[in-house]
Amino acid sequence: MTNPLLADWTTPFALPPFADVTDDDFAPAFEAAMDEARANIAKIAENPEPPTFANTIEALEQADAALNRVLGVFFNIAGADSTPKREELQRDFSPKLAAYGSEITNNKPLFERVETLWNARDTLDLTPEQQRVLMLTRRGFIRSGADLEGYAADRLTEVKNRLAVLSTQFTQNLLADERSWYMELTEDELEGLPDFLIAAARAAGSEKGLQAPVITTSRSLIVPFLQFSPRRDLRERAYQAWTARGAGGGPTDNRAIAAEVLALREERAFLLGYDSFADYKLETEMAKTPKAVRDLLMQVWEPALAAAEADSTRLSAMMHGDGVNGELEPWDWRYYSEKRRKEEHDLDEAELKPYLQLDRMIDAAFAVASRLFNLDFKALDATLYHPDARAWEVTRDGAHLAVFIGDYFARGSKRSGAWCSAMRSQQKLAGDIRPIVVNVCNFAKPEAGKPALLSYDDARTLFHEFGHALHQMLSDVTYESISGTSVARDFVELPSQLYEHWLEVPEVLAEFATHAETGKPMPKALLDRLLAAQTYDSGFDTVEFLASALVDLAFHEEEAPADPMRKQAEVLEGLGMPHAIGMRHATPHFAHVFAGDGYSSGYYSYMWSEVMDADAFEAFKEAGSAFDADTATKLERFILSAGGSEEAEDLYTAFRGKMPGPEALLKGRGLSQG
């Protein structure tokens, strides 16, 4: 019987045949696809014909097509719906993939063909896109050690293989801690909690097979619990568990893994001739240097710290007014901040949340994309990898553009956070290949028959991830290696963070923020109060983010610490970190940085992109409308459809005329001194 992962997919839009795929299919499909990829690589390297762009670079682009197809399905499912078998497969696949990557970059005849083309590039009559792909291919070889010989080459392969093992272990340890911890609540302990949170806690308990409501470490549960529970002891217990993920001792403790990862990254950089891992990593980003990153972050740190310290004084006074002595603690901040928001802005999460229904916010995200980019979304009746996942066909003027999959609810088998990925990326080299794009979130699942309600932060997350999805869906390039979100890490967050701005457009909320029970639109007075409070608590939000970004930078710019937790404490002390604010992501659960190289030395990227997204939305304001057609056309042409076909700075400058400074960011966060 043919393995369904390797057969032709005759499903609508060539979706993976999820109904036919079992966990037992992944390993043989992986091995067969890996063998095919190796054979294709050998054929390219051993080709007796002189190298051409077609027989070398384009052949490399297509060499592992079957492997990418198998892994596109596997890694999406493994992250969103893990099982013990899938975790075992991840541990098996990761070092094999690292070894396969090293085989390619260590293949001297193959690299010689690439180098020959590079040296003759001015005579090859290449298109600008082909020139870009050639440059990126050669750079990838060199940065992966293709120039190394002997011990250095062998050692780099060992380092990369070990890092692959450690990143998988880090991720699985974190998921195990998140899955195992929960706090049951008695009826008395529900006192003071809004109905939406009680319903979500009951649904979470049911998901775990319990009769009682529970609080888990899912952000969509634990944050509102910290906002609303009057029980300080329970808030402390929940907060401590949330921040202790990956640091509880025993087999799931990530602290030693973090230390080994940092040491190996430093060694990798040294082997490649760099002064630090940050120097290596940032060379290909917009920032270019650790100094440029630190300069931006510190420009924002000072006003953010001042705002946070002023807020801390206010919240401490409120706490002492309640008869609670001592210092304001991290598990107190959200509780008193929520009270203060109610006092100052007459804004109550419990009043707001019924107007932010998940289905209506999905409709809002689609409607904005329709107005900006003339897209249409039609629900598909398709079998997917989990009953909670949903799919839509995306079209423009009747032509198929993409399949979009949304998987929105938290569950024990899903890793924390929110992300966008592609099961299949756009390209034209092998035909007009249209993408399958996935948004995964962790919103609280409602009780059966009840609508899912979002916080405003949840709604912003939904828009954020959909901005990434648009970057994938509107991609219009020839080569998969530069498709969609295959751009500099500190540019990739621009489309996502820019898209968040449309959630703040009054006419969007006026149309789609409708009450879950009455169906009536959000009252204008409430809408006005919501929009007026957009920068409320920005000192807290900015400080907790910057603390994580600056610790990440210190880990990779300076000597690798033997004790990352001690180094983390030293960095925070040097910054003057407020006692009552924790890092957004402490080291043992800092998956952005330790679950792979993606955001290592790059967590700052969100803020680097925010400088651009604040400025980019100004382009629409200057044009007189958030839906200005000409500006939207330029945005698609120079940003969303271009992928990595040009340098990020050149793409942004083509859209906006010049690169911005941090002024718009500070203004947008309410931290501007002017």
Contact of 110 with 101, CB cutoff 8 Å: no
**Phi/psi at 577 (nearest 5 deg)?**
-60, 125
How far is 283 from 275, CA to CA, in rounded Å?
Answer: 12
How far is 449 from 649, CA to CA, in rounded Å?
Answer: 48
The residues, ordered by sequence, that sit 6+ positions from 132 with a Cβ below 8 Å of its Cβ are 482, 644, 645, 646
190, exposed or middle or buried, with CB in 10 Å at 0-12, 13-18, 19+? middle
Query: Could you tell me how far CA 430 lies from the centroid of its own chain?
Result: 28
Contact of 213 with 190, CB cutoff 8 Å: yes
Burial 471-492 (b: 16+ CB within 10 A, else e): bbbbbbbbbbbbbbbbbbbbbb
For residue 107, what are the CA distances in angstroms to 1, 113, 120, 269?
35, 10, 20, 20
The residues, ordered by sequence, that sit 6+ positions from 37 with a Cβ below 8 Å of its Cβ are 63, 64, 66, 67, 100
Q: Quick one: which of 76, 114, 63 has its CA closest to 405? A: 76
Residue 21 exposure: Cα atoms within 13 Å on the Cβ side:
24
How far is 45 from 55, CA to CA, in rounded Å?
Answer: 10
- Active-site residue identified among 189, 465, 480, 557: 465
Contact of 422 with 54, CB cutoff 8 Å: no
How far is 51 from 44, CA to CA, in rounded Å?
Answer: 9
How far is 516 from 512, CA to CA, in rounded Å?
Answer: 11
Residue 532 exposure: Cα atoms within 13 Å on the Cβ side:
12
* 203's tokens: 């649904």
Burial 349-382 (b: 16+ CB within 10 A, else e): bbbbbbbbbbebbbebbbbbbebbbebebeebeb
How far is 434 from 427, CA to CA, in rounded Å?
Answer: 7
Element containing residue 377 per DSSP (H, E): strand 376-380
How far is 134 from 322, CA to CA, in rounded Å?
Answer: 65
465 classed as catalytic: yes
* 394's tokens: 């995306």
| Catalytic site positions | 465
